[in-house]
Structure formats: C-alpha cells, structure tokens
Structure 1
Amino acid sequence: TLLDETSVLGLGLGAGLAGMLPVPEIQYLAYLHNAEDQLRGEAATMRFFSQGAFRNPMVVRVAGLAYQEGFGGHFHNDNSVAVLRDVPGLVIAVPARPDDAAPMLRTCLASAAVDGSVCVFLEPIALYHTRDLYAEGDGEWLAGYPEPGAWVAGHVPVGRARVYQVGSADDLTIITFGNGVRMSLRAAAVLAEEGVGTRVVDLRWLAPLPVADIIRESSATGRVLVVDETRRSGGVGEGVIAALVDAGYVGAARRVAGVDSFVPLGPAARHVLVSTEAITDGARTLLAR
C-alpha cells in the first residue's frame, strides 16, 4: 500500500464491508494519530449508526509503545493510547509475552469474524527481540509455538487478565501491561528477596478492562501499585484506579506512571518513562504505609 495511514485503514474499511477480514498494519503508534478518525468516525461507528445492518470487522496491528533502544523521538517511541480507549466498542489488546501474543491475536480475529468487532492489536516493539527476564541468557521470556491442535487450550478470552505470583503473593498487587509486565516481574523478584510476596497482574486488554480480575487480585492483598507506561494524565492507570473506586475498594493504592511529556531522544527518555527501579521504590513506599 501507499505509506499513508489514512489509505491503509480506509482500504481495511472497504475490505471489511466487502465481507473480508482485513488485518491492516500501522507502523508506528504515533502515525496512527494521522488516521485515527478512520477508526473513531468510521470503523467503530458503522454498526452503531446502521443499527447493525452493516459491519466492517478488522484487526489493526500497531507496533508501538516506548523503550526502544536506538530509536528516538515521539514518532518511534509513543506511549499515548488515550485516543483509542475513548472509542466506544473498540477492542484493544496489548500482549506482553509470546505465549500470549498468538492466542490474543487469534481471539481478536475470532471476535472480528463472529461479532464484527474492530480490534486494535498493540504490539510493544521493545519486546519483539526480548529473550531474557531476570538475567542475560536465562531465556525466561521465550515460549514455544503450539500446534493448531493445542490452540483451544491456550485460548485467551477478551477482557481477562493474566496473573503471576512471586513468593507468597500475599503482600502486594502490581497491575500493569505491555513493557510494564517484564519490569514489574523483575521488581517483584527484588522484593521477594526482601520477604515481600507479590502478584503481578498483566491486564492484556485495555478495552474492555478486566475489571473483575482487577478487583479480585487487588482485594487479595489490600495494597495496589498501578504501573502504567503511558502518561499520568489520560493514561491507562486512571481507568484502573477508577475501576477500583467504583467497586468500593478500600485498600491502599499508588501509581507509577510515565511523565506528561513526549518521549525525548536517546538516554533522556529514561527521565520520562517508568523503570524497574521506580516500580521497586513505589512498592516499598506503598508497603511502608
């Protein structure tokens, strides 16, 4: 196609109306903003304004989010997803690990084919080539690819989180997604050496949020640290905190989020993005309350 985001999504719209199941791809997240009205004003509203007479299913793959070493500026490091979360009915998936990525993509395709959904599959670029979790060479971030016969067993429903337990998992709940999952697991390992048991909740879905999982895992410890790699204002963390308040959660809660800034060039990016150290310090502050 043309290197034009409006044309890419427009072609997807037409293909969906014609009965196909398009999977347009946008590189990178920052360039999606050039054509976001194709999703907000066209794709996600087709069934709504036609009272279900028409549908234009699609799964939009978007390489995005930050933490890319060697890439600079807000066009290749963009941590803004607020405009997507504001669109009614849009399904937003953010896989963090390879053993979630393939099942979640199949779920999006099934949702589009069966329900006519418009899905955005947001892929953290910085994790594409990640192999290790705790130490270089441990291979803890790798996973095998199951044969088709095993796909059903690994199905990931829309709006369901994934929970990791580190240590006793009784002291602290960390709620995060995307790049934050790996950083939070690393932080949880440090806290485990200090006798702190942590459960790390990978949201996986930013819309609809896995509210039931958020409430259950938060109530289990009574201490919640929301780790949000998007910005403090308009970020995902606001939705998580609001879900807790709406459910009557009465425990302690704290956020670690990106600064309200575009992502700058080079090492300066570290001053605005969440880090493993910031997560660890935030957890210690929360536990000290």
Structure 2
Amino acid sequence: MARMTMIEAIRDAHMLAMEADDDVVVMGEDVGYFGGVFRCTAGLQKRFGVQRCFDTPISELGIVGTAVGMAAFGLKPVVEIQFADYMYPAYDQIVSEAARLRYRSAGEFTCPMVVRMPTGGGIFGAQTHSQSPEALFTHVAGLKTVVPSNPQDAKGLLLAAINDPDPVIFLEPKRLYNGPFDGHFDRPSQSWGKHPLGEVETGYYQTPLGKANIVREGSAATLLAYGTMVHVALAAVEESGVDVEVIDLRTLLPLDLETIAESVSRTGRCIVLHEATLTSGFGAEVTALIQGECFYSLEAPVLRVAGWDTPYPHAQEWDYFPGPERVKRAIATVMEG
C-alpha cells in the first residue's frame, strides 16, 4: 500500500495501463507537455513519447471524434476533457458514435475508449467549471458511467474502465483531487496522505465496474451517494446519531441494484444524495428502481437530497451543495415517515 492523492492514483493508473498495453494512448488539451490542467497526466509524455501521450487542438468534438476512430481501429484511447462543463460540443460524438458503434455494426466494430472529466464544484469554479452532468450519460444505452470517491477506487476503476471493451465516462470529483474533507464544504481540506482513505494498492489491480461499496453499515435507513457526496453522507450520519447504512454507488451505469435492494429491504428507509440538480437527476432513476424493487419493504417514501434547480450560483456555492445539515434533516424526516 502507498498513500496517494486522487490525482496521484489516477496518474498511476495511466502509467500502469500504458506499461501493460501498447495500444493505450492518452490525449486531450494540455495532457502532454504540461501534464493536464490538474496534473493527472504529468510525466506520461516524457516516459512514453509524443505518439502515446499528446496534446490536441481546443476542440472537444474533434478530440472525441478522433478517439472514436482510433478505438474502432483497435487502439484504446483515454481522453481527458479539461472540465465536464466543456463536453457539450462532444456530446453528439459520445452518444451517436461511441455508444452505438458496437450495435450499429453488429459487433464488427467496438469502441474501447475512456472519456475522463473533472466534475462537480467545491473550487469556486462558477457555472462553467462546476457542473455535474452525469445524468446526461446514464440516459444513454451503450455507455458506462463511473464516479469514484477516493484514490483507491479511482485507480482501480480507471484501470477497469481502460480494459473495458466499450466506452466509459469517467467523472472525477475535483473537490476530492487533493484531499478529503469533513463533509462541510466551507472547511479546509485535509491531505489524502494523512487520511486512511488515501491508502492505495501498489501495482496493477482492477475494481470491478457495476459493484457498489458499503462504506458504513447500518440498520435504521440506507443512504445512497457517489463521488464527493459520499463524504457529506458520512459526516451527516455521524452527526445525526442515527444508525444509517451508507453505500457508495461508484458505478452509476451499470448500477448495482442488488446491493441497493438488499440494503433498502432490510432498513425500510432510503435517502438518495447527489450534487447535481434535483429535477431529472440520477437520483430520480434510483428512486424509481427502489420503488419497483422494494415497495413492500418501505416504511417511508424515498427522499432525494440534491443541488438546487438553478444555474450554478457562484456566490452561494456552499448553500447550493447538499451539505450535512440538509442531509441530517432528510434523515430525521425519513425516520419519522
């Protein structure tokens, strides 16, 4: 084991994947010489050369479209979009080309590519650097969508994504890049290097896609979260004094419904927590699935706690995010149901 930040774990995953397979290439804006805007690809170009880690023009549509062609040809491109907010010009290539290539070619072509994107807020990035667009990808058949919450998972999930034969959207919570926090956004971050969640296995390993992780066992209710919100959930549960089970979804698509249903059927109560806006957010899909799978076990309606249904409010960032206080109120409400 070694202590790493999430940035270091992601960089290590790139390094190991490129060492293991010559077909893995890394591409995107500033990923080569500079090493990425968040330094996740630092040192890759120097080690593997400009043919395997290279900078692209500032054109998300062109980057992803080129990567789709490379993947169809047999390479395994790992694309970095500097911020998830910038992916919209490339959305057509992701949805209409990458996600459908296997199916419209009857399996003659596949698209083994990963699109990495820093996602979410917490760094005062305002509306064009803080969006959480995961629901736009979980709606698309043919895509897998992953959101890690700690360095160990970030490394293992990324290696599994690179090894997957189909396209994977890999969303990295930028609030967690350099360290965890105590669940309150307005408090300074600790270093992952001093935090038990910063322990990362050395060497090559894969964390299976489609498998959730129970990060805190409990019997009174189930709290489902992913990415940054896992830490908010843990803080809220500790402060509430209620014995709530916390599940880190890790992979949104495919979703580990088996683990979710087992927990909710046992506790009878459920809260779904995410940073993105409430309306048509991923929590709505999870709530519908729970309603169908666990209806006769529910002791109260499933509650959702999410971001405001507004454009991203830079001046009110800490209020926009679902913090521990909002989650604690939800826990109290679901326990009264």
TM-score when scaled to structure 2? 0.77
Match of 1:175 among 191, 203, 224: 224
Q: Are 2:92 and 1:92 aligned?
A: no
Match of 1:224 among 270, 288, 294: 270
Matched with 2:333 is: 285
Amino acid at match of 2:331: A
Q: Are 2:125 and 1:71 aligned?
A: yes
Counterpart-to-counterpart distance in 2, 1:9 and 1:279: 37
Q: Are 2:209 and 1:158 aligned?
A: yes
Match of 1:124 among 173, 176, 182: 173
- Cα offset for 1:141? 5.7
- Cα offset for 1:137? 5.4
- Cα offset for 1:83? 1.7
Counterpart-to-counterpart distance in 2, 1:121 and 1:137: 24
Q: Are 2:114 and 1:46 aligned?
A: no
- Cα offset for 1:215? 0.5
Matched with 1:108 is: 161
| Aligned 8 A contact 1:232 1:260 in 2 | yes
Counterpart-to-counterpart distance in 1, 2:317 and 2:190: 26
Amino acid at match of 1:270: W
Matched with 2:42 is: none
Amino acid at match of 2:135: A
- Cα offset for 1:273? 2.4
Matched with 2:4 is: none
TM-score when scaled to structure 1? 0.89
- Cα offset for 1:33? 1.3
Counterpart-to-counterpart distance in 1, 2:139 and 2:158: 21
| Aligned 8 A contact 2:179 2:190 in 1 | no
Counterpart-to-counterpart distance in 1, 2:306 and 2:257: 19
Deviations 1:40-78 (A, max 9, x none): 01111111111011112101111111222x322x21010
- Cα offset for 1:14? 1.7
Counterpart-to-counterpart distance in 1, 2:190 and 2:72: 47
Matched with 2:136 is: 83
- Cα offset for 1:100? 0.8
RMSD over aligned Cα, in angstroms?
Answer: 1.8
SS state at 2:306 partner: strand
Distance 1:137 1:39, change over 3 A: closer
| Aligned 8 A contact 1:132 1:140 in 2 | no
Distance 1:77 1:254, change over 3 A: same
Counterpart-to-counterpart distance in 2, 1:279 and 1:57: 38
Distance 1:137 1:2, change over 3 A: closer
| Aligned 8 A contact 1:17 1:55 in 2 | yes
| Aligned 8 A contact 2:265 2:294 in 1 | no
Amino acid at match of 2:178: H
